[in-house]
Amino acid sequence: MSFMTHLECPRCIKKYRAGEILNLCECGSTLFARYDLRRVSTKIESQTLKSRTRDLWRYREVLPVGAEGSIISLGEGFTPLLRARRLGDKLGLPNLYLKDESQNPTGSFKARGMAVAVSKAHELGIRKLAVPSAGNAGGAMAAYAAKAGMEAAVFMPEGTPLANRLECGFHGAKVTLVPGSIKDCGRVMRESLEGKEWFDMSTLREPYRVEGKKTMAYEIYEQLGGRLPDAMIYPTGGGTGLIGMWKAFDEMLEMGWIAERRPRMFAVQAHGCAPIVRAYAKSAERAEEWIDPQTVASGLRVPAGIGDSLILNILRKSRGAALAVADADMLNAVREIAETEGLITSPEGGATLAGLKKLLFDGFLAGHESIVLFLTATGYKYLEALERLI
């Protein structure tokens, strides 16, 4: 059973029934799933999770899918939190961790959000799903749609890595390549499908991808023995995971699992596409669109996002920051992680290490803190970009 009570807008606090098929609030904001956390806290405690399945559905009481038969799963979640000893020794960081999201189905953290969103869509009777994607989200949606027997349409920038394009096609999705960025893909998708029975699965334009992404926070809490790290460094395009984890902290606090203290949240973007960094530096409430976004990290090539104000609020509340790194630095960091820890991550994962070095140099972090870097996807999907390292 689901403990979800309703959907709620974090901006205007308008509430909607749990069973409604919705994208955004009437005010244009994303919607959050809300739960009866008092009842949830009587059903589970953080210490009683050990006997459960080692996937994200171990947290099913704080997920929106009610019927077990509606769950579409490929074994997503509960990815390793690895102690980065050699890399940590090299940097003088005794408590450095890597959250290796490459071990999710389809090779990235996008599987988390799509597993929950596709499952909820299946439960609500939706049968056609569409998404604009720079790569991994499209592949994940296509995979889960195939598992559920649903139709999928993916709109991708023309420069999307070949592995991502082939992945969507193999799963039976209809792939449309669009000149420009993911923002252009979203525009073309909505123009093409207007008036048709396709459900928009765009980042933060539906309520449930964020629910899958928030499970990273629950896992890290569990994997660290019932505590949270001092800092989290997250590669930020649309920012669903950052927003989701902050939501998870709210839920943990209400259930009595944690106290008020939270990790400092750091958002890393690319020099060639850094709308959140620019807005943070200006103390702005919203991020203006980045014109002509350019970066080798396709997941960071997001010129504008609907969750901008939520991300900026989280960074400020947590005493974190937003910072940008050069493509060359993130690619060199990919090599460094591979040489020290044996993991070949995506450029976005490399951006977190490049960002960490900048935070240490600028004095945002002292080095004694417990720090988690998010390696959001496997590097094997980015061979065209990584080839220049050889």
pLDDT at 73 over 80: yes
Which CATH number is correct for 81-108+209-389, 3.40.50.1220, 3.10.310.30, 3.40.605.10, 3.40.50.1100?
3.40.50.1100
Residue 287 buriedness (CB in 10 A; 0-12 / 13-18 / 19+): buried
Q: Bridge-partner residues for 131, per DSSP?
A: 154
Per-residue pLDDT tens for 220-251?
Answer: 999 999 999 999 999 999 999 999 999 999 99
What is the pLDDT averaged over residues 113-120? 98
Measured distance between the N- and C-terminal CA atoms of the chain, rounded to whole angstroms = 51
Q: How confident is the model at residue 2 (pLDDT cuts 50, 70, 90)?
A: confident
- Whether 85 contacts 120, CB under 8 Å: no
Minimal CA–CA distance to 198: which of 132, 120, 118, 130?
A: 130
- Whether 260 contacts 253, CB under 8 Å: yes
- Which pLDDT belongs to residue 46? 64
Residue 128 buriedness (CB in 10 A; 0-12 / 13-18 / 19+): middle
Alpha-carbon span 209 to 33, nearest angstrom: 10
Average pLDDT, the chain: 96
pLDDT at 45 over 80: no
- Which pLDDT belongs to residue 47? 66
Q: How confident is the model at residue 13 (pLDDT cuts 50, 70, 90)?
A: very high
Q: How confident is the model at residue 389 (pLDDT cuts 50, 70, 90)?
A: confident
The predicted model scores a pTM of 0.96
Per-residue pLDDT tens for 166-217?
Answer: 999 999 999 999 999 999 999 999 999 888 899 999 999 999 999 999 999 9
Q: How confident is the model at residue 387 (pLDDT cuts 50, 70, 90)?
A: confident
- Which pLDDT belongs to residue 384? 86
